[in-house]
Amino acid sequence: MAEQTIHHQEPNYLEYQGKYKGLAGWLTTTDHKRIGLLYFYSMMTFFLSGVVMGLLMKYELIAPGEQIMGAQTYNGLFTLHGLTMIFLFVIPGVAAVYGNFFLPILIGAKDVAFPRLNLASWYLYIIGAIVVLISQFMGDGPPDTGWTFYAPYSLKTNTNVVAAVTGAFILGFSSILTGLNFIVTMHRMRAPGMGWMRMPLFCWTLYGTGWIQLLATPIIGITFLMVMAERLLGIGFFDPTIGGDPILYQHLFWIYSHPAVYIMILPAMGVITEIIPTFARKTIFGYTAIIISSMAIAFVGYFVWGHHMFTSGMSSTSRWVFSLLTFLVAIPSAIKVFNWTATMYKGSINIQPPFLWAIAFIFVFMIGGFSGLVVGSLATDIHVHDTAFVVAHFHYIVFGGTGFAFFGALHYWYPKMFAKMYNIRVANIGLLIFFIGFNLLYFPMFYLGLMGMPRRYYDYIPMFEPANLLSTIGSWIMAIGLTVILVNLSRARKMTGKAVDDPWDGKTLEWQIQSPPTVENFEEIPTVTTGPYDYK
């Protein structure tokens, strides 16, 4: 892609000693790669605690009746599970970790546009996370509203809602600042020759995501302030007993929270778009179509929020309009899948763990997407609304989409980030176990939902037991797979010997520099002369 391959003798970002050493060096760093890793380690901590909560909930559902927790504990647990996984893992997710680490490298820059703001974003993320966690242990107990904080219940419950929404409010600022930083970086810091139409597609998805973060997140911030004002001052925005409208809350909440799904999924799609051409040894099929579809997803995704509200009492006209718009967003999503498969067609495919993660992503994302059409249709949504079907659908999209891409990206870029290569065979076995466990865990929920099992209940009638048992066993298998994957990766860190700079024979700029990258990535800013996937 660039004219020269760059090797130099400067210390790499892991060894570099600045003004401060050790932990203080990490906590005061403005290096985008170190900040990416700060996000990575904090996010993995939250993700694993969310996994433990999920396992506990699945164990509670192994059989009818109370197993290990009562209703109130279960309500608190699914709220915290949702808050942790949504606000602390999948929303910042791929963009904060891999966007921070690789965006400047992919466009031939030495850092992001505002390095200090970047570090401030991480601090805001940590402060927000601490406030969310504190909300669990102070006042009148953990919030029991679910992560959506629906009014009027969130206005009436005695649990600690104000602290939780304050935490989410702070997390929103972190997201806004990261989005702003990425947009400015792409506008101002691309290397010579790196025109917009030569940018790697992961960058394009970060660009679309940045705009959503910038435009949608303030709405949830204001909405949470309104919830606080309502609870503390009784103003009457959402409480119908004092003239408010609870459906207005749902509008405002989903105006952000549906585009937030695209904040999660767009960078994930970007990762898959990077992986597939590298392992198919072929230029990406339909570069421009993928850019347009990314932007179309970001744009149309803005106007589909009402499909979360089909049973809320919204007007009939709005319902069919939102249903129609929801079906429209399937078009750019499908374009991406067609482009990925067309890229693989007649490619010289090199089957490696990142490629297998990408294939697994497409498989589970398709199931999530098709089940989305069921909940996006007015008639069928009435039947499955608030059932286990919806839980299965969004786990296939959010975990199956973002989660699979997150781990796919980790396996793809791990040799670049740490200059170590993991055990390929163990990585493949881990993925296989994880994949089986994932499907066994979530697929029975489609059946349970269709049969009428409601979500958010700690107990159920005996007819739902066999599928719930299967789902719980699936959660254990998935946990085993996850353990294999993470142990394999952490063992690789301790291995002696260095991975080669370009183990996958990639063509984008990150593979042209040394592993791990130096502090400033490039000794001299490269001049870009070709497109990003030049496999001719």
Partner 1 sequence: MSEEKTHVVSIKTHLLVLFTLIILTVITVLITSIELGPYNTAAALVIATAKALVVLLYFMHLRFDEPIYRIMFGLVIAIFVAVIIVTFFDYLYR
Which residues contribute to the site for partner 1 (CB under 8 A)?
Answer: 187-190, 215, 247, 251, 255, 299, 302-303, 306, 313-318, 321
Nearest-approach distance from CB 521 to partner 1, in angstroms: 18
Nearest-approach distance from CB 303 to partner 1, in angstroms: 6
* Residue 255 or 391 having the CB closest to partner 1: 255
* Residue 208 or 481 having the CB closest to partner 1: 208
- Give the three-class secondary structure for 187: helix
**Residue 462 amino acid letter:** P
* Residue 117 or 321 having the CB closest to partner 1: 321
Nearest-approach distance from CB 237 to partner 1, in angstroms: 14
| Torsion sign, CA atoms 222, 226, 229, 231 | negative
* Residue 229 or 324 having the CB closest to partner 1: 324
* Residue 192 or 234 having the CB closest to partner 1: 192
DSSP collapsed to 3 states, 41-83: HHHHHHHHHHHHHHHHHHHHCCCCCCCCCCHHHHHHHHHHHHH
**Residue 435 amino acid letter:** F
Interatomic CA distance for residues 394 and 383, integer angstroms:
17
Nearest-approach distance from CB 517 to partner 1, in angstroms: 22
Nearest-approach distance from CB 133 to partner 1, in angstroms: 32
Nearest-approach distance from CB 293 to partner 1, in angstroms: 18
* Residue 190 or 282 having the CB closest to partner 1: 190
Interatomic CA distance for residues 273 and 361, integer angstroms:
11
* Residue 325 or 492 having the CB closest to partner 1: 325
Residue environment code for 79-108, b if the CB has 16+ CB neighbours within 10 A, otherwise e: bbbbbbbbbbbbbbbbbbbbbbbbbbbbbb
Residue 524 C-alpha from the chain's centroid? 33
Burial class of residue 157, CB neighbours in 10 A (0-12, 13-18, 19+):
middle
Nearest-approach distance from CB 314 to partner 1, in angstroms: 5
Nearest-approach distance from CB 306 to partner 1, in angstroms: 7
* Residue 62 or 248 having the CB closest to partner 1: 248
Ordered alpha helix ranges (H), 397-524: 404-418, 424-450, 465-494
Nearest-approach distance from CB 230 to partner 1, in angstroms: 18
Nearest-approach distance from CB 223 to partner 1, in angstroms: 12
Q: Which residues have C-beta within 8 Å of that of residue 246, sequence separation ≥ 6?
A: 150, 151, 152, 238, 239, 240
Interatomic CA distance for residues 217 and 299, integer angstroms:
15
Please choose, from the candidates 199, 314, 336, the residue with its C-alpha nearest in 3D space to the C-alpha of residue 266.
Answer: 336
Interatomic CA distance for residues 444 and 423, integer angstroms:
32
Distances, alpha carbon 396 to alpha carbons 300, 315, 399, in Å = 21, 29, 6
* Residue 318 or 530 having the CB closest to partner 1: 318
* Residue 27 or 247 having the CB closest to partner 1: 247
- Give the three-class secondary structure for 334: helix
Interatomic CA distance for residues 324 and 326, integer angstroms:
5
